[in-house]
Amino acid sequence: MKLLFILALTGAVLSFILLLIDAGNQTLLNTCSANDVINCAKVAQSKWSHIGPVPVALLGFFFYLFILFYIVLSDNKEAIYLAASWLFLLGSLMSVFLFLVSWFDIKAFCLYCSATYLINWVLFFLFSKYFKFNLSKIFNKSGLKALVFALVLSIGLSGVALWATGSSSSSAGTTSQKDGFIVEYQQLPENRINKIWTPFYGGQNPKVEIITYSSFFCSHCKIFSEDLEKLMSDPKYFENIRVYYKIYSSSKSCDPNTFTLANPSPCIISYLGFEMIRKGLFWEFEKKVRETPNLSAEIIKKIAEEINKDPIDYKNLAANNQKYFNMVEQEIKLLGVEATPTWYINGKRFVGAYPMPQVKQLIDYIIENEKK
């Protein structure tokens, strides 16, 4: 009984964390988004994170709360074990389904979600021996009373959790969260950012300018860029938005005098990026790099060589692009950019790959309410 209570309580805590992630908590998203495969942000932004307007995390929170309250309120140990066998059969089947969805459709896993799957499978394994079709011990007079009270308390506390976390009914936030994000935007100071020698795509007279400082090796940057690309496929947004890309190097001391191809370090990636800008091939290069798994400096070199029509002048690669590298590095220091993706929307800074529905709400607000 003690193990059942502890694991159900752990499941409730994990589900509450997932509610915070669903609400767009960037700290939790970052702790659970290590790469393309272990990526809570990707899972949270998928269509599978909600059943209609209801977050799956909320259903999980309710599920574990109900078990906890039933354990406390029921005085029949046999009824508790019988209920647990049924509940964790359902929970295990749902966990298998969500695991397969993560594997084959989303192609990414959430560690917190996976922990709840494991809890469900372990508890079903432990309590499956109590499984039976005769549920009279649960639905007798005293058992029914415990069942109803557990149900009412679980619904009430789940509602409080939904309100407290600001989790969404539309996968990105309630109206209050939406308004809070807009208020945050309104209160942020506006930064003036150099756009010279910065690749962009989008409208000719945009109401919204998004400038991202991104790294080719950053999984969050990849997600954010992919989401922006999908958004910009809508003519309405393409006309009203212009997206700029700033190459953020993980090396801050690239020197053409010491740069060698034998020991290229991350510098070659930055230099190749600027080389593609000079050749007018950057967006083709960026997309190919973004869509290629298991990146390395050597793979990125091959991508650049495939896209470039003329042989790349590696001998003068550093010298030809150092001034552009220095220009961006100076901006990074002046602006205090310390992480990727750092993105500016009409000069207002945000850090991290925010859920795109949330960003879209802000963009819609700007398009409708601000003059560019």
Q: What is the pLDDT of residue 137?
A: 80
Q: Are residues 70 and 210 part of one domain?
A: no
Q: Are residues 201 and 162 part of one domain?
A: no
Burial 340-350 (b: 16+ CB within 10 A, else e): bbbbbbbebbb
Please give the residue range of the domain that contains residue 293. Answer: 181-369
Is residue 172 included in any domain, yes or no? no
Q: Are residues 191 and 156 part of one domain?
A: no
Q: What is the pLDDT along the chain (372 residues), one digit of tens a residue?
A: 789 999 999 999 999 999 888 876 767 776 776 666 787 877 877 788 888 888 899 999 999 999 999 999 988 888 889 899 999 999 999 999 999 999 998 888 999 999 999 999 999 999 999 888 888 888 887 778 888 999 999 999 999 988 887 654 444 444 444 556 787 888 889 999 999 889 999 999 999 999 999 988 888 888 899 999 999 999 999 999 999 999 987 665 565 555 554 444 567 888 899 999 999 999 999 999 999 887 777 888 889 999 988 888 888 888 899 899 889 989 999 999 988 889 999 999 998 888 888 899 899 999 988 655
Assign residue 45 the CATH number of its domain: 1.20.1440.130
Q: Are residues 343 and 218 part of one domain?
A: yes
Q: What are phi and psi of 199, to 5 degrees?
A: -65, 145
Number of independent structural domains in the chain: 2
Instruction: Give the residue from 117, 144, 167 where a domain finishes.
Output: 167
- CA nearest neighbour of 359 among 344, 339, 340, 338: 344
Element (H, E) at 214: strand 208-214
- Which are the contacts of 229, defined by CB distance < 8 A and separation ≥ 6? 287
Give alpha helix (H) positions in the chain. Answer: 2-22, 26-31, 40-44, 56-73, 77-101, 111-127, 141-165, 175-187, 219-232, 235-240, 267-278, 282-290, 297-307, 317-335, 356-369
Q: What is the pLDDT of residue 169?
A: 41
Is residue 173 included in any domain, yes or no? no
For residue 245, the Cα-to-chain-centroid distance in whole angstroms is: 20
Q: What is the pLDDT of residue 31?
A: 74
Q: Are residues 143 and 101 part of one domain?
A: yes
Assign residue 249 the CATH number of its domain: 3.40.30.10
Burial 60-80 (b: 16+ CB within 10 A, else e): bbbbbbbbbbbbebbeeeebb
Rounded CA-CA distance 108/102 in Å is 6
Q: What is the pLDDT of residue 65?
A: 95
Rounded CA-CA distance 304/200 in Å is 19
Q: Are residues 154 and 282 part of one domain?
A: no
